[in-house]
Amino acid sequence: MRTRDTLPLATVLLAALVAGCSDGEARLEPPESTESSAPADADSTTPSSPRPMSQHRLDKLTHLLERVEHLDRIPPGFELRDVDYTSRKAAVAYFVDTRVRVDRGTIIATTDDNWAHATRLRISHELADLVDYLPLGEGAVGIKAQDQWPRRSYPPFVLYPGGETKPLRVAEDTSLDADSELLGIGLYNLIGDLPVDPGDGLRTDGDGSQGMWAADVEAAEIYPIPGSPLGDVRGSLPGRNGSLMTTVGYRNGVGDGVWRFETSTDKGLSWDRRDVALPLGVKYLWRYADESTLAVGPGRLQAIAMSDMLPDLPKYLWELWWTGDEKEFRRVELPWDRLRFGGMAFTPDGALLIAEVTGSEHYCDELACNRPGQIWRLASPGAAPKLVADAPRLFGPFWAVGIYPSGGWIVARTGMRTVALSRDGHRWTEVTPGARDVSGR
């Protein structure tokens, strides 16, 4: 879920399961699972059970699951597009085939031990050309596959570390408990029906009808939380003592403009709304900047980066707003006319790390255009940025190279398949998502 500021929800693709391999790729037989091969017991229901799934939908899901491919490694030609952590051990990564003439689809990999072991699935382009995914926590990931032409949609399912799959069900009248995983706005990419408000295009104020959802990961069930705010959910925040945050976003009709967010200290049972003055005027935020990126730090630190995007070029940072009291954002004077922006993240000591995309500024006319990058450290709003000498060398596609917070880590993109992880912005460890064999778990 990435979630970063707003994370792009990914598309994934996977090819028919075969025992042999003619293209030199290693495959695994899928783990035995009565739910993945024949989830036919879904129609049995009790008053507290999830909504039943029709036999037609069960048949469609079985058709998909019989054809997904389990891999024991990521084949050559696949590029890491994203990795999302829900804790320091649980993560989901997805990979795409970057070759122009042959598309072998996209791979989703998941882990619950920070890639000491991994499970990898692939769906072929012929089976489904669009797949949304959402990390659910504990290494589980919800997946929704569909083919855009001819139009064909499969019911969503859950993939677990180790390879088990289950249908994703919607439950009713389920109470939020300590083991529930809170899900934000990204869930609607799996289940559809995003709440819409005619005023600003998105209802995010939690009017008691639709808002946040929660997941019982082991049961593969999701359920709505009445009265909760709708937005992206942020957890593992540095120096926030386990608090959760959901960002409603900019509201131009309140005073001279405010940044609205809500926090919870009881794992989502109750929420406290706050408005922080952000004097941007009467424009909607999307008219003020092409993209706004939020970073949340310890105490009451928050920063918002305003950036513009040109086609096939990195984002350009042109404004940075900072608050240390969550009462008012103040604009930070920056030493750059326009910094090619690669994301930002607060450290536990309250410094803001800002990634700069370096390399050529020329228009990129190739399918893949990779750039290096570097990391700056801003100790306070009035301090001069300093290059982080012991930071990892950044590298990746121009739109992905950079840093972001995820699951208690600061994640830095260091290669076409690698990232570096840090808890404090000083010490970094490089990992290769999806690299290890699932055997021996």
Residues 6+ apart with CB under 8 A from 297: 238, 239, 303, 346, 347, 350, 352
Length of the chain measured in residues:
441
Digitized pLDDT (tens) for each residue of the chain, 441 residues in all: 433 433 333 333 233 322 333 344 445 544 444 344 434 344 444 445 566 678 888 899 999 999 999 999 999 888 999 999 999 999 999 998 877 666 788 899 999 999 999 999 998 888 888 889 999 999 999 999 998 877 888 999 999 999 999 999 988 767 788 788 988 888 888 887 655 443 333 334 434 346 788 999 999 999 888 878 878 889 889 989 889 999 888 888 888 899 999 999 998 889 999 999 999 977 778 888 889 999 999 999 999 999 998 777 778 999 999 999 999 999 999 999 889 999 999 999 999 999 999 987 766 655 557 889 999 999 999 999 999 999 999 998 877 899 999 999 999 999 999 999 999 999 999 999 998 543 333
With 0-12 CB in 10 A as exposed, 13-18 as middle and 19+ as buried, what is 211? buried
The rounded distance, in Å, linking the Cα atoms of 88 and 367 is 33
The rounded distance, in Å, linking the Cα atoms of 172 and 100 is 45
Which of 33, 108, 112 is CA-nearest to residue 71?
A: 108
The rounded distance, in Å, linking the Cα atoms of 402 and 83 is 13
Which of 120, 15, 84 is CA-nearest to residue 437?
A: 120
CA dihedral 168, 173, 178, 182 (to 10 degrees): 50
The rounded distance, in Å, linking the Cα atoms of 15 and 124 is 4
Which of 123, 201, 154, 139 is CA-nearest to residue 56?
A: 154
What is the pTM (predicted TM-score) of this model? 0.83
Indicate if the alpha-carbon torsion angle 147, 310, 414, 377 is positive or negative. Answer: negative
> Torsions phi, psi of 43, nearest 5?
-85, -10
**CA of residue 59 relative to chain centroid, distance:** 29
